[in-house]
Amino acid sequence: MNKVKIKVVKKVSHTDLIEQYENHIEHPCDMEVGMEFICSEYKKPDGFCDSAWESVSPFVMTLLCGGEDIYDGWMKNKKSAMISCNDGFRPVSFYLEAIE
C-alpha cells in the first residue's frame, strides 16, 4: 500500500459571508498553509481537522490503494488530487499525493 502526503496549500476567508451569517467562533480552523500530514493507513492523522477529513478521506483511500487519474486527466500528476474542505466560510485547499 502507498503512503499519501496531505499538504495544506491555500486557506481562504470569505469575510463578507462570515459577517452576514456566522456566529462568532473562537478557533474555527487550525489548519495553516504549509502543514503536512502523512497517511500510511486509512485513518485521520493526528492534528487534522475532523470536517476536512470527511472531505479528503475518500481520495486518500483511493490513492492509498494505488488508484490514480481520479478525474480522467484533471491533475498533472496522476497520483494526486486537489481537494478543499467543505467549510463555506473559510475553505482550505489540500494537495494529496501518493508517495512511495
pLDDT greater than 90 at residue 26: no
Residues 6+ apart with CB under 8 A from 17: 88, 89
76-98 tens-digit pLDDT: 999 999 999 999 999 999 999 99
CB 34, CB 6: distance < 8 Å: no
Q: Would you state the pLDDT for residue 74?
A: 92
Q: Would you state the pLDDT for residue 88?
A: 94
| CA dihedral (62, 67, 71, 74) positive or negative | positive
Name beta bridge partners: 80: 97
Position 16, amino acid: D
Position 1, amino acid: M
pLDDT greater than 80 at residue 1: no
CB 59, CB 96: distance < 8 Å: yes
Residues 6+ apart with CB under 8 A from 72: none
The model's pTM: 0.92
28-73 tens-digit pLDDT: 889 999 999 999 999 999 999 999 999 999 999 999 999 999 989 9
What is the domain partition of the chain in residue ranges? Answer: 3-99
Q: Would you state the pLDDT for residue 28?
A: 86
